[in-house]
Structure 1
């Protein structure tokens, strides 16, 4: 992740992934026809996304949720994917994000669903996570921003009911200093953290999806560059391009993998 941050800074996106940056991104994306076309082409459906989850992975995630479950989503951005999961699964979902413009968009759009679908602004590092006894906690490409994996996993585990589970989607790249084994199932940094904390889990491989995603992301950001510029939304295209070259390089070299981890609540850890 440090290598990616350095790369985006070199591309003129030094503030990328900050609260202000995400607010500006989602403010513009919500009204951009070029962004809608980009999402349709890259993800398979326009849900005003900024992330890595394509429709196949999203629908697989929805299949893991059960009707009526109490779900906390960490890092929901503008809530479009959260809303899709809510419609597919009939769960009770609370989505959290630190980008207040994204949360305001989600709240306004889903006001008539507030009995079972809600959104709240929260700093995922500084703030106490609201509620407890969750059946499921989702973290889709957000755990990178919450600090140490071990501490974050323990923090999330403490909010689960006995028998609950975490579902975490995370990529892993092999940087020059990493062993080749870091790309193998059971050997990523997420695997190491889960094993160190004695979690039981299964992982589902979405490596081919993520490699295809970044190649399409690279292609269509450039194909639509003039349309973004004509809208006055060069910022959106530049934001995509700042990261997709780095990911495309790893995708083409085969040094990028992605897994979805389904993790059982660890009662011993919660007591300890």
Structure 2
């Protein structure tokens, strides 16, 4: 999916179109009771989130959190999930994204924004490290923003095994023994199948609350994921890069 988008849009074009598209989607989704039910069931949390973190992936991510860590979330969306992490795990959290946040996080393109140096214990990116104009430069900037022994943790979905992706090749070339990859492809297949079933069940509720467009957008996304898995063209990874 992301490779196709990249072929159609330049980085500048993506940034211009993404802000409005995501802002509209987030505005309806975060006010939808049906979407909140979906998040509770599929992600196990009582707040809006857009990415496809399964409960297993959620646990794998949050196992890195420790109280009072300074954490940066790049691609934080509305900021609701980042704020949830900050409160539940007692983190000092900041967030960047192209869209305006509900919380005190910065509306900014993290690829072109200074992230600081030796500042964060953790940087996380949940399905937000795809449309990069300069992968190496952005990756180096993220790593520079980490404190010694800091970690960059990201979820990554691709059409091919991780080590054959742009990011996989970049890490193998630059960071070698300083990263590890957890394969969640099978887990992601199970997640998307369950998500499709749940959305089919919740469809009438979305429509009743006046969110038929929201329902179709989310259902089409999940259904494409299911079909991609069937065609063995979808791989899901959680990547941890150590400074």
State whether TM-score is above 0.5.
Answer: yes
Q: 1:215 to 1:3 in 2, by over 3 A?
A: farther
Counterpart for residue 110 of structure 1: none
Counterpart for residue 137 of structure 2: 151
Counterpart for residue 112 of structure 2: 126
- Render the CA deviation track for 1:55-113: whole Å, top value 9, x for unaligned: 3222221111222221111011122322332234322111112211xx1x2x2xxxxxx
After TM superposition, the structure 1 stretch with the greater mean CA deviation from structure 2, 58-67 or 135-144, is: 58-67
The alignment status of 1:135 with 2:135, answered yes or no, reads no
Counterpart for residue 208 of structure 2: 230
Counterpart for residue 85 of structure 2: 85
Counterpart for residue 10 of structure 1: none
After TM superposition, the structure 1 stretch with the greater mean CA deviation from structure 2, 124-133 or 82-91, is: 124-133
The alignment status of 1:263 with 2:241, answered yes or no, reads yes
The SS at the match of 2:53 is coil
The SS at the match of 1:258 is strand
Counterpart for residue 217 of structure 2: 239
Answer yes or no: is the 8 Å Cα contact 1:28–1:233 preserved in 2.
Answer: yes
In 2, the alpha carbon distance for the partners of 1:148 and 1:220 equals: 38
In 2, the alpha carbon distance for the partners of 1:238 and 1:135 equals: 39
Answer yes or no: is the 8 Å Cα contact 1:15–1:21 preserved in 2.
Answer: no
TM-score by length of 2: 0.84
TM-score by length of 1: 0.76
In 1, the alpha carbon distance for the partners of 2:60 and 2:147 equals: 23
Counterpart for residue 40 of structure 2: 40
Q: 1:221 to 1:46 in 2, by over 3 A?
A: same
In 2, the alpha carbon distance for the partners of 1:40 and 1:132 equals: 36
After TM superposition, the structure 1 stretch with the greater mean CA deviation from structure 2, 241-250 or 91-100, is: 241-250
Which structure 1 segments of 5+ residues have no match?
7-13, 108-117, 175-182, 266-272
In 1, the alpha carbon distance for the partners of 2:60 and 2:2 equals: 29
After TM superposition, the structure 1 stretch with the greater mean CA deviation from structure 2, 218-227 or 57-66, is: 218-227
Give the deviation of 1:17 after TM superposition: 7.2
Counterpart for residue 220 of structure 1: 198
RMSD: 2.8
